[in-house]
Amino acid sequence: MHTGTDEPNLPQPTIISFVKDLPNICSLIGLACTLMAIYFCVLGIYSAAMIGMIWAVAFDWADGLIARKIAGRRGSDRIFGGQLDLLIDIVSYGVTPAILLLSYGELDPIFLPAAFVVIAAAAVRLSYFSTFGLSHDAKYTGLALDNNSIVLVFVFAFETPFPHGTFEIILAIATLILAILNISQVKTPKFSGTPRNVYLLGLYTSAITITYIWKLA
């Protein structure tokens, strides 16, 4: 069976061998942050959930930067890492915002359609990207999913002044707008592709973390 790698004469590696790859370790740490975010969403401790969400993005961006700096990575490592990223992205940027919306909406079924749209848009967008990749001008078609978490943790920082019922609507509208942008034809640059942007995200992540730790105190 053709695997699409450039190592046709090498024995097929074991599944667990890919876990030793540093970028994949970084991706899995990001997945752990996502799990923490989901856990605290379910508990209703949203400040802690926001910290988990933004750190998931930070590790997602860092794994790409690390991968590009490692010389001599196998073709299979690159392919496996790309597939791993896509699968983690659906959880981090599709499932997690949907759970956030349902949890904050106190599991009111009225929010189920919006939650479904968020997850469906993420799945469709990732399938499109997996099929076509970046456009000819090296831009994404549609808003990249990692922006969902970057925006939502910022929006949630302004939750306190609003009545709970009002912010439920604000959160639902924000997630739906992001979902529409995810599957739109809007061209957006690959922000995660440069070290400068990764470092800027690190500063943003630190600021968001401090903000929400202060809210938890």
Quick check: 85 and 60 in contact, CB under 8 A? yes
**Worst-scoring range by mean pLDDT, 11-20, 53-62, 140-149?**
11-20
Query: Could you give the dihedral angle defined by the CA atoms of residues 42, 101, 98 and 138, in that order, rounded to the nearest 10 degrees?
Result: -130
Domains observed in the chain = 20-216 (1.20.120)
pTM: 0.88
156 or 193, which is more confident: 156
Q: What is the pLDDT of residues 31-61, one digit of tens each?
A: 999 999 999 999 999 999 999 999 999 999 9
Q: What is the pLDDT of residues 145-185, one digit of tens each?
A: 999 999 999 999 999 999 999 999 999 999 999 999 999 99
CA proximity to 118, closest of 154, 92, 136: 92
How crowded is residue 196: how many other Cβ atoms within 10 Å of its Cβ?
9
pLDDT at position 137, please? 77
- In angstroms, the CA 12 to CA 141 distance is 34
Tokens of 184: 């739109």
